[in-house]
Structures are given as structure tokens and as C-alpha cells.
Amino acid sequence: MAQMTMIQAITDGMRNELKNDEKVLVFGEDVGQNGGVFRATEGLQKEFGEDRVFDTPLAESGIGGLASGLSVTGYRSVMEIQFFGFVFETFDAIAAQMARVRYRSGGTYNAPVTIRSPFGGGVKTPELHADSLEGLMAQTPGLKVVIPSSPYDAKGLLISAIRDNDPVVFLEHMKLYRSFREEVPEEEYTLPLGKAEVKREGSDVTIITYGAMVHASLKAAEALEKDGHSAEVIDLRTVSPLDIETIIESVEKTNRAIVVQEAQKQAGIAANVVAEINERAILSLEAPVLRVTAPDTIFPFASAEDVWLPNHKDIVAKAKQVIEF
Amino acid sequence: MEKTKELQKIEDQFKTFQILDEKGKVVNEKAMPKLSDEELKELMTRMVYTRIWDQRAISLNRQGRLGFYAPVAGQEASMIGSQFALEKQDWILPGYRDIPQIHYHGVPLDQAFLWSRGHFGGGQMPEGVRVMMPQIIIGAQITQTAGVAMGLKKNKEDAVAITYTGDGGASQGDFYEGMNFAGAFNSPAIFVVQNNRFAISVPVEKQSAAKTIAQKAVAAGIHGVQVDGMDILAVYVATKEARERGLKDNGPTLIEALTYRYGPHTMAGDDPTRYRTSEEDSEWEKKDPLVRFRKFLEDKNLWTEEEEDKIVEQAKEDIKAAIKKADGAPKQKVSDLIENMGEELPANLQEQLEEYKAKESK
């Protein structure tokens, strides 16, 4: 075991797979000699060579096409989009091409591609760096969308994503890259995709969340505890497909739920979680399922992040609203 | 626009490469490929076969026995000549019009018909046949080709990746990105632009101020050549050279083939009389790739009317049999579509699979 930040755990996951499978390739803008703008690929080119870990021209669509093409010649691509706000450039390559290739070839071809990309607010990045666009990906049949919230989860989920024989979008929250350390095994391990984790057990209300909001929700749960309310916190870990079983089991126990996301109300995946609960557990509900989200504006100018991003206070307030309904 | 010397100098580097003129005379003896009599006859056979296939496909489409179809008459030389220069181990990434190329690379006719109708069987490429499904998103095949070519190079295979788009496609971002990536990685890729002068109704002059599409290779720093796309020998030679260049690690090539489609853009209601003159049509009919190659072969005593009639009959019979075979393909079920979604189905699809299987068993 070693104490690792999430970024170190991600590097470790890639190193593990580069070692494990010679068909794994890591590429993107500045991921080679530079080791990535966040050092996520630090040291990998030196260790595995330019043939395995390399820089590309500055063109996201080209990077996506490259990954698709490499798939049919037997390679397993781990491509990086420097910031997920740049996904629009390569939307076709991901959503209309690699997500569909198995289906449109009737199972003849597949795209074992992992799309790694940082996102998330709270670090005052310039425009279109921090936007939460997982909702767009979650609406695309053929893609899995994974969002870890801890170093341990990041490594295990990334190894699983790379080994998956269909495309996986792996979104890394920038604020979580170095915000804390955690014990992470140095040897390889995997965590199943599509499986949530109960981060904190509780009996009065279920808080369903992912990404940086997991930590805000845990902080909110502590505050609620002081006020005599027991909150259960579920970290979805995979936002598409959802782990319905874990969600419903918890809601049936607590009879109350809120869904917390950093994305705007009209975006993200919270509405989907609410709909699933309504369809499957309405008879267990003592109150409507409410959402904590950002407002439906464009992502804020950097100095407005603090007033715009949802935080633990918003979660406490919404949880109380549900409890006191 | 007044031309600067610099602009003129660039255009001058992309003069049309031609071997056969419209009368079937060899105008560039030096460039003549070393093809046997049998191979020359095979080229003509395929062009005749494809012309009949196109005529039959149009009529089958009108009868409702085929779905989406993009006519190819006029483009036989550029399609067949370029594919003929390939080897079995080469990858083809076709656009939606490029069905003849993948057929001659190994995709059976009945499968091409299934693809036209919209059946997943149309995309289940036979084992060992290195082709992707026809690409609908104009340009996507071009960045993917850069990836396939890189993979072939990494695998140290004696093979190239070839892709096709039209004159309109050369305006897409992916067109530039694909060429530029293949150039930067020095990958064995061949980018063919079949310039038939129209993207649906928009003439090539409205796509770009560039005088040729071939010169767009300059932006990627790669080789570019413009060929007479109605001259099957010129197309063959240009593709063959591009292939060798790629295999010798000398990078990708852009080939612009000047061609024409006699029919509409697709069979989905396009009417070329709205945007083309009959003078233009008849001018290009004089350039028909079949006419000039037929004359060339007849002059060499390699071709007769009887031979051609036999091919026409053969094509008609094959098409009849292929349509019958396509008719016999099992109807698609939602459960088939779900099962093709992933190696392991996620929980939501598992649940829906059970639902639809129950529905289908009723």
C-alpha cells in the first residue's frame, strides 16, 4: 500500500495496463515528454517508449479518429482530451463513431477505447475547462461513463475501463486530483463498472451523488448528523449505466432521497436518477426526490464559482426540506 | 480573384495526370502500368459489371426492393482503378458511395444490398475482409484512416489504409485533420477525393477558392496528385505509387480523381436537372471511362461485343441471386439490436433485453 493522490493513482492505473498489455497505447496533447498538463502521464513515455505513449497534433477530432482506427488494427487506446470542455470538437468521433461501431458492424468490430478527461469547478480555470458535460455522454447509447471521487476508486475503475472492450468515458474531477491522499494498493486490482458504493450508511435520507459532490455530501451528512438526521451517501462511481439496485435498496430503507450534482439542473444525470426512483420505488417514498444542482446558466466566470457551484450547505438545506416535507 | 505568382506556382504543381485520352489513345506511354492482358480485361469486366449493377440498383430502389442508394455511374474508373491497386491486406474505409470498392475487396453483393436496406447483416464484414462499413458522416472515415494506417505501421504490416471522400468532403475539418495526422506520424495512408464536381447541388467552385483539391495536400505537407478520374489506368498508377510510397515509409498521399456522376446524388429524391445543364452532362458522357477503355482494348484486340454481353448477363444474374439471398435474411428483432450493443450488456440493456424477448416470444 502507498499513500496516493488521485492523480498518482490514475498514473499508476495506466502504468499497470501499459505493463500488462502491449496493445495499450496512451496518447493526446502533451501527454508524452511533458507528462500531461496535470502530470497524469508523468514518466510513462520514459518507461514505455514513444511507441506506446505519445503526443498528437492539437486536434481533438483527429485524436478520436486515431483511437477508432487503431481499434480495428488491434490496439487498446487510452486517449486524453485535455479538458472535457473540448469534447465538442470530437463529439462525432466518440458519440457517433466509437460508441456505435460494435452495433453497426453487427458485432464484427469494437472500440476498446478509454477517453480520459479532466473537468470540474472550484479551481478557477478559464472558460470551457470545468464544465460538467457527463450528461451528454450518458445520453449516448454505447458509452459507459465513469466518474471516480477517490484515489482508490480511480485506479481500480481506470484499470477496468481500459480492459473493457467497449468505449468508456473516464472523467477526472480537477479539484480532486490532489486534494487528499488515500491508501492505494500498489498491485493491480479492478472495480466493477456500473457499481455504486455506499460511502456512509444512514437511515433518514439517501443522498445520491458523484464526483466532487461526494465530498460535499459527506460534509453535509456530518452537519445533518449534528442536527439529529442520519444520511446515507451513495457515490454512483459510474453515471451510465446506473447501479439501480444499490439506489433502490437504499431508498426503500430511508424512504427519502435527494440527488446531488455539480452540473446545471437541465444537465447532468440527476433527472435520470429521480425518474428511476419514481418508476421503481414510489411506494416507499415519504417525500418527492429533490435535486441539488447548479443553476441553468453557462458555467460561471472564474470569480463567480463560489456563489454558483453547489456546496454542502445547499445539500443540508435540500435534505432538510425532504426530511421535513 | 486576381492570382498572385505564388498561387499560380502552387497550382502548376498539380497538373492532371492522364494515360488514356477520351479516344482511348495512350498519351503518356512512359507512365503505362505493367498489366497483363488478363488484368486489363479484368478492369474492363469490373467496370461493365459495376455499370450494370448501378442500373439495376437504381431500378430495384424504384421498386422498393433496395433502400438507400448512391449512384456510381461515371465513377467506375476512379473506384475500380484505385481498388485494383490494393492488396488483400490493405484496409478500405469507404464513404457511402464507395460500395464497388468494398465489393471487389471481398464484400458479397447480397451484403451490400442488406446495408442498403438497413439491416445489421450489411455491416458484418466477412472474416479477413479488411473493410469498414460505409461511412455516412462525411469526413469521419478520414481521421479513422490515419488511425488504421498508424496501427498497420506499428504492426509492421506490409499494408496501407485507403479512404474515399467527395469534393464536398474536402471542406470538412476531419479531412484536414486526418491528412495532417497521417503526415505528422508518417503513416501509410491514401486519401482519395473523388471530385465529381457536385456535392448534392453545390458545385465544387462553391466549396473552395483552391483551383485543385490535390493542392490541399500542401497544408499537411504530404504528397498530392490530381488524376483524370475517368481514366482507369491513370487512377491505377497513381494509387499504386501512393501505396508503394506508404510502404517505403515515405508517408501518405492525397489523390484527387476528376470524375462525374451521371445519375442523381442519391435515390432519395435528388433531381440533378435542378442544378446541372444537359450540355454539362453530355460533355462528361464523352469522357465515359467505359467508352475510352473499351476503345483501348478493342485496338489491342482484347475486347469484343460478345464478351461484354456475357458480362452484362452475368451481372444481371448475380444481382438477381443476391437480392434473393438478401430477401432470405432473418428479420431484425429488437433483441438482436440490444445484443449487438456491447460485449457485456449493462444492467439497463439486460433489463430491456428480457422485456423484448418476452414480447418477441408471444
Q: For chain A, say whether B329 makes contact (Cβ under 8 Å).
A: no
Q: Is B313 buried (19+), middle (13-18) or exposed (0-12) by CB count in 10 A?
A: exposed
Percent of chain A beyond pLDDT 70?
100
HSE value, Cβ hemisphere, 13 Å, CA-based, for B183: 19
Instruction: Tell me which of B152-161, B176-185, B269-278 is least confident.
Output: B269-278
pLDDT at residue A1, rounded to an integer: 82
C-beta atoms of A92 and B149 within 8 A: no
State pTM to two decimals.
Answer: 0.97
B103 has catalytic annotation: no
**Mean of pLDDT values over A112-133:** 97
- Sheet containing strand A205-209, edge to edge, reads A197-200, A231-235, A205-209, A257-264, A290-294
B330 touches chain A (CB under 8 A): no
Residue B2: pLDDT band with limits 50, 70, 90: confident
Instruction: Give the whole-angstrom CA distance, residue A320 versus residue A307.
Output: 21
Q: Which residue has the cell 480492459?
A: A163
For position A264, what pLDDT does the model report? Answer: 98
Q: Which residue is closest to B130 within chain A, CA to CA?
A: A72
**Mean pLDDT over the full length of chain A:** 98
CA-angle at B213, arms to B97 and B226, nearest 5°? 90
pLDDT digits (tens, 9 = 90+) for B24-37: 999 999 999 999 99
Does B340 lie at the interface with A, CB-CB under 8 angstroms?
A: yes
Per-residue confidence (pLDDT) for residue A245, from 0 to 100: 98
CB A77 within 8 A of CB A66: yes
Q: Which residue of A lies nearest to B133 if distances are taken between CA atoms?
A: A105
Classify domain B5-331 at the CATH superfamily level.
Thiamin diphosphate (ThDP)-binding fold, Pyr/PP domains (3.40.50.970)
Instruction: Say whether A197-324 and A2-184 share the same fold.
Output: yes
> A2-184 domain in CATH 3.40.50.970?
yes
* DSSP label of B123: G
Strands A205-209 and A53-55: unpaired
In CATH terms, is domain A197-324 a member of 3.10.20.520?
no
How many CA atoms lie less than 13 Å away from A311 in the CB half-sphere? Answer: 8
Residue B45: pLDDT over 90: yes
* Contact call for B341 and A61, based on CB within 8 A: no
Mean pLDDT, to the nearest integer, of A82-97?
A: 98
Beta strands in chain B (DSSP E): 91-93, 161-166, 189-195, 198-199, 202-203, 223-228, 253-258
Mean pLDDT within A228-245: 98
What would the mean pLDDT of B39-43 be, rounded to a whole number?
A: 98
From the list B97, B265, B292, B294, the catalytic residue is B265
> Is the Cβ pair B143, A96 closer than 8 Å?
no
Q: pLDDT tens digits, residue range A195-227?
A: 999 999 999 999 999 999 999 999 999 999 999
The residue type of A151 is P
| B343 Cβ under 8 Å from any chain A Cβ | yes
Three-state DSSP class for residue B93: strand
Tell me which chain B residues have a C-beta less than 8 angstroms from the C-beta of A108: 123-125
- Using a CB-CB cut-off of 8 Å, the residues of chain B touching A57 are 177, 180-181, 184
With beta carbons less than 8 A apart as the criterion, state whether A60 and A81 touch.
yes
Domain extent listing, chain B: 5-331, 333-361
Give tens-digit pLDDT for B208-263: 999 999 999 999 999 999 999 999 999 999 999 999 999 999 999 999 999 999 99
3-state SS, residue A323:
helix
A74, closest residue in chain B (CA to CA): B151
Residue to substitute from A22, A51, A108, interface B, most B β-carbons within 10 A: A108
Q: What pLDDT does A261 receive?
A: 98
Q: Of all residues in chain B, what percent carry a pLDDT higher than 90?
A: 97
Q: What is the pLDDT of residues A153-199, one digit of tens each?
A: 999 999 999 999 999 999 999 999 999 999 999 999 999 999 999 99
Contact B145 A243 (CB under 8 A): no
**Is the pLDDT reported for residue B1 higher than 80?**
no
Q: How far off is chain B from A253, nearest CA to CA, in Å? A: 22
**pLDDT band per the 50, 70, 90 thresholds, residue B3:** confident
Q: Do B177 and A241 touch (CB under 8 A)?
A: no
Paired with B256 in beta bridges are B193, B226
Domain coordinates in residue numbering, chain A = 2-184, 197-324
At B347 the pLDDT is 94
| Residue in B90, B144, B148 to test binding to A, most A beta-carbons within 10 Å | B144
Query: Nearest CA to A259 among A230, A288, A222?
Result: A288
Of the CA atoms within 13 Å of residue B263, those in its CB half-sphere come to 21
For range A104-117, the mean pLDDT: 98
Spatial distance between the Cα atoms of A296 and B128, rounded to a whole number of angstroms: 51
A43 touches chain B (CB under 8 A): no
B244: Cβ–Cβ under 8 A, 6 or more apart, which residues? none
Q: Is A74 at the interface with chain B, CB within 8 A?
A: yes
- Asked if B121's CB is within 8 angstroms of A62's CB, the reply is no
